[in-house]
Chains A and B, each alone.
Chain A
Amino acid sequence: MEMEPAIRARGLRRAFGDLRAVDGIDLDVPRGTIFAILGPNGAGKTTLLRILATLTRADAGEARVMGHDLAHEPDKVRAAIAMTGQFASLDEDLTGRENLVMLARLWGFGWRAARQRAAELLAAFDLSDAARKQVKDYSGGMRRRLDIAASLIVTPGVLFLDEPTTGLDPSARAGVWRLIRGLAAEGVTILLTTQYLEEADQLASRIAVIDHGRKIAEGTSRELKAQTGSGVLHVTPLDPGNRAIALGILGETAQADPEGARLSVPVADDTEAAAHLARLAEAGIRLAEFSLGAPSLDEVFFALTGKEAA
Chain B
Amino acid sequence: MSAPLPQGPRPAPPSPASTSLTFAWRAVLKFKHVPEQLFDLVMTPIMFTLLFTFIFGGALAGSSTAYLQWFIPGILVQTTVFNTVYSGMGLSTDLSKGLFDRFRSLPIWSLAPFAGLMVGDMLRHTIAGAIILGIGLALGYRPEAGLPGILASFALLLAIGFGWGWIFIVLGLVVRTPMTVMTLGFAVLFPVTFASNIMVDPATMPGWLQAFVAVNPVSLMTTALRALMAGTAGWGEIGRALLAPAILTALLAPLVLWLYRRR
Contact = CB atoms under 8 A, between A and B. Distances in A.
Between B1, B2, B26, the greatest number of chain A beta carbons within 10 A of the residue's beta carbon is seen for B1
B98 A125 contact: no
B26 A102 contact: yes
B14 A107 contact: yes
A142 to B, nearest CB: 12
B108 A106 contact: yes
Contacts of B2: 124, 182
Given A78-B106, A91-B99, A93-B33, A106 B4 contact: no
Interface in A172-212: 175, 178-179, 182-183, 186, 188
Contact of B5 (A93, A126, A155): A155
A183 to B, nearest CB: 7
B1 A57 contact: no
A160 to B, nearest CB: 9
Contacts of A131: none
B101 interface: yes
Interface stretch (A28-36, A146-154, A292-300): A146-154
Contacts of B5: 152, 155, 183, 186, 188
Interface string A277-301: 0000000000000000000000000
A6 B135 CA distance: 62
B207 interface: no
B29 A94 contact: yes
Interface string B1-39: 111111000111110001100100110011001100000
Given A90-B99, A94-B33, A55 B26 contact: no
Interface residues of A, number: 54
B98 A87 contact: yes
A296 to B, nearest CB: 29
B25 A108 contact: no
Interface stretch (A113-121, A163-171, A246-254): A113-121
A109 B2 CA distance: 22
Given A75-B107, A82-B105, A102-B26, A89 B97 contact: yes
Interface in A34-76: 50, 53-57, 75-76
A78 B105 contact: yes
B4 A152 contact: yes
Contacts of A91: 26, 94, 99
A152 B99 CA distance: 16
A71 to B, nearest CB: 13
Nearest to B4: A124
Contacts of B101: 50, 55, 83, 85, 89
A53 to B, nearest CB: 5
Contacts of A124: 1-4
Contacts of A153: 6
Interface string B206-245: 0000000000000000000000000000000000000000
Contact of A88 (B10, B11, B98): B98
B262 A109 contact: no
Nearest to A82: B105
A90 B94 CA distance: 9
B142 interface: no
A27 interface: no
B98 A102 contact: no
A103 B102 contact: yes
Given A78-B107, A106-B19, A106-B106, A98 B29 contact: yes
B250 to A, nearest CB: 26
A94 B1 contact: no
Given A89-B98, A93-B34, A126-B1, A81 B105 contact: yes
Nearest to A147: B102
Contacts of B12: 108
A107 B30 contact: no
A78 B108 CA distance: 9
A175 B106 CA distance: 26
B257 to A, nearest CB: 14
30 contacts: A54-B105, A55-B101, A76-B107, A78-B107, A87-B98, A89-B97, A89-B98, A89-B99, A91-B94, A93-B34, A95-B33, A98-B26, A102-B25, A103-B102, A105-B22, A106-B14, A106-B19, A107-B10, A107-B11, A108-B10, A108-B13, A125-B1, A126-B1, A152-B6, A153-B6, A155-B10, A179-B4, A182-B1, A183-B4, A188-B5
Interface of A: 50, 53-57, 75-76, 78-79, 81-83, 85, 87-95, 98, 102-103, 105-110, 113, 117, 120-121, 124-126, 134, 145, 149-150, 152-155, 175, 178-179, 182-183, 186, 188
A-B complex: 3 closest residue pairs judged by Cβ atoms = A108-B11, A89-B102, A124-B4
Given A79-B13, A182-B1, 10 more contacts: A56-B263, A89-B97, A91-B94, A107-B106, A108-B12, A149-B4, A152-B4, A153-B6, A154-B6, A175-B1
